[in-house]
Amino acid sequence: MLVQYVRTGKGKKVGVVVALNSDKIGYSLCNPLDEFDKNYGKFIAEKRAETGKDFMVKIAEVINRRCAYGKMYSNICRIVQPFIDMEERAARYFG
């Protein structure tokens, strides 16, 4: 399993992206009002990854559109680039 944490500009962990293989990628994000728990975050991301990459790509596209239009102001905008990076990394690692 590949793991990449999502961080704020100050380095605080707020989420995680995991890849079980090149087609199973998932994420979890912490509500900005809560404290991030890396074990629980990885658990949620793994469960989402089990649904498959296509489902996660659709979610990432919606997030990206909303962030582009400034309709989201939370940690969710931070997930787009790490998700794309993980997709590329998983393709290289798992072939």
pLDDT digits (tens, 9 = 90+) for 38-49: 999 999 999 989
At 26, which helix (H) or strand (E)? strand 24-29
Q: What is the pTM of this model?
A: 0.78
Contacts of 82 (CB under 8 A, 6+ apart): 4, 6, 15, 17, 27
pLDDT digits (tens, 9 = 90+) for 12-60: 999 999 999 988 999 888 877 889 999 999 999 999 899 876 666 666 6
- Give the strands of the sheet with 2-7, arranged side by side: 2-7, 13-21, 24-29
- What are the residue ranges spanned by the domains of the chain? 2-94
**Is the dihedral angle over the CA atoms 5, 79, 12, 30 positive or is it negative?**
negative
